[in-house]
Every structure is written in C-alpha cells, then in structure tokens.
Amino acid sequence: MEPITNDELLFFDRMPAMLPVYEALRQQLLTRCPGTSIKVSRSQISFRSKYIYAMASLPVRRRKDWPEICLVVSFGLADRLESPRIAVAVEPYPRRWTHHVLVERPDQLDEELLGWLEQAWRFSLEK
C-alpha cells in the first residue's frame, strides 16, 4: 500500500485527532477497492476509481447536533440510504445521492459503513 503523503498529513493540521480515523479509512478503501487513487484538495480528500466515489473532510460549518470533532465521510449512490447514521443526504443530480456520515473513532468504520463505501466504489465503476 502506498504511504500517506505530506499533503494528506497537512490536511489534518486543523484537527489532528481525526488523522487516525482517516488512516483507518484510507487503509480499508485501498484494500477493498482496487484501483483507488487519492487526491487532496483544500476542502476534502477524494477517493476515486474512474470517478470519485468517496470523500473525507473536516466539518467547516458544524451543525448544533454534530460532534465537536469528527471526520465527515461522504459517498455517492444511485438511491438514498435510510439510516440514523446518515447525517445528511442530498440529490445533486437525478439518481445521484451524496450521503454524509460523521465518524469520531476508527471503530465506527464498521462493516455497515464499509459496505456502503464498497457499493459507492462499484457504482462509480458503472457510470
């Protein structure tokens, strides 16, 4: 597996407590989703195959009911998921739902969330 880059490390300067969560997410996605590449931008870290299928970001405008410190894990699917774990779901294009899950600890990267991320990876390959 490719080593974490300086750009990835610098992304977490504002919230270093979320770096271990990101590292666990990164390891899982690179292991489970072959052909994944990573791109760091100012606002998010994108995981892509043919297209972006998942993003990791730090909350910019935290909602009142959100945790103080968390990683926002976002992913795209054709249909809206119904789960209390989904903090926000939006449909920017017809049949293109973006879901946002708040993750505070590496152990929250469980089979349910990782399964959704694998679905998003497969969905990105079909577009």
Over the stretch 14-34, which tens digit does the pLDDT of each residue have?
A: 999 999 999 999 999 999 999
Q: Indicate if the pLDDT at residue 104 is higher than 80.
A: yes
**What angle (nearest 5°) sits at the alpha carbon of residue 15, between those of residues 40 and 87?**
80
Residues near 115 by beta carbon (within 8 Å), at least 6 away in sequence:
none
Q: Indicate if the pLDDT at residue 2 is higher than 90.
A: no
Structural domain boundaries of the chain?
6-126
Q: Which pTM does this prediction carry? A: 0.95
What mean pLDDT is predicted for residues 80-95? 94
**What angle (nearest 5°) sits at the alpha carbon of residue 72, between those of residues 68 and 76?**
155
Over the stretch 45-65, which tens digit does the pLDDT of each residue have?
A: 999 998 999 999 999 876 788
Which strand ranges, in their side-by-side order, compose the sheet holding 52-57?
37-40, 45-48, 52-57, 71-77, 96-103, 86-93
pLDDT at 32: 97
